[in-house]
Amino acid sequence: MARALENAGVVLATSCEQGVCGTCLTRVLDGVPDHRDLYLTPEEQAANDQFTPCCSRSKTRLLVLDL
Q: Mind listing the pLDDT tens digit for each residue in 23-48?
A: 999 999 999 999 999 999 999 999 99
In this predicted structure, which of 1-10, 12-21, 44-53 has the lowest mean pLDDT?
A: 1-10
Domains contained in the chain, CATH given: 2-65 (3.10.20.30)
Decide: residue 1, CB within 10 A, 0-12 exposed, 13-18 middle, 19+ buried: buried
pLDDT of residue 55: 94
Strands (DSSP E) along 2-67, which ranges?
A: 26-30, 33-34, 50-51, 57-58, 64-65
Decide: residue 63, CB within 10 A, 0-12 exposed, 13-18 middle, 19+ buried: buried
| 21 backbone φψ class: left, alpha, beta (φ>0; ψ -120 to 50) | alpha
d(CA 55, CA 24): 10
pLDDT of residue 61: 96
